Amino acid sequence: MMDDDLDIRWKQRFQNFEKSLKLLEGALAVRSPDIYQRAGMIQFFETTFELSWKMMKDYFEAEGFSDVKSPRAAIKQGFESGLLQEGHAWMELLKDRNLTAHTYDEETAEKVEKLIEGKYIPIIRDLHETFKKLNDA
């Protein structure tokens, strides 16, 4: 694949990440969500995370890295390269995303909702700002 294609791929992924983040933010704006609204918010969270690590993977491939094949590897490389400031928080986000992907109960959903609002949305927004600057450069 040509380098231009790799460069375009992360930019396309960024556009999808940005749309997903807006949907997640909209879902988080719902006060006292019911079980269906909370499930939707968690789905937006999962999608936004998937797009975030794949966007980083695509970016690193465009930069010449070939060993970023998993969410954990993307987070590690993102932290090492300075794209991510909160490496430990991203690893916790990965752990909680894996939990929500394989288990659904209301208690877990409420716990994850609070984590998304208080801890994870700020670091996802930071990543968005970082990639927005890269995309605009």
Which pLDDT tens digit goes with each residue over 35-86? 899 999 999 999 999 999 999 999 999 999 989 999 999 999 999 999 999 9
Domain holding 101, by residue range, is: 3-136
CATH number at residue 77: 1.20.120.330
Q: How far apart are CA 91 and CA 27, in angstroms?
A: 23
* Helix 87-102 and helix 106-115, axial crossing angle in degrees, nearest 10: 160
The region of weakest confidence among 12-26, 46-60, 68-82, 90-104 is 90-104
Averaged confidence pLDDT in the chain: 91
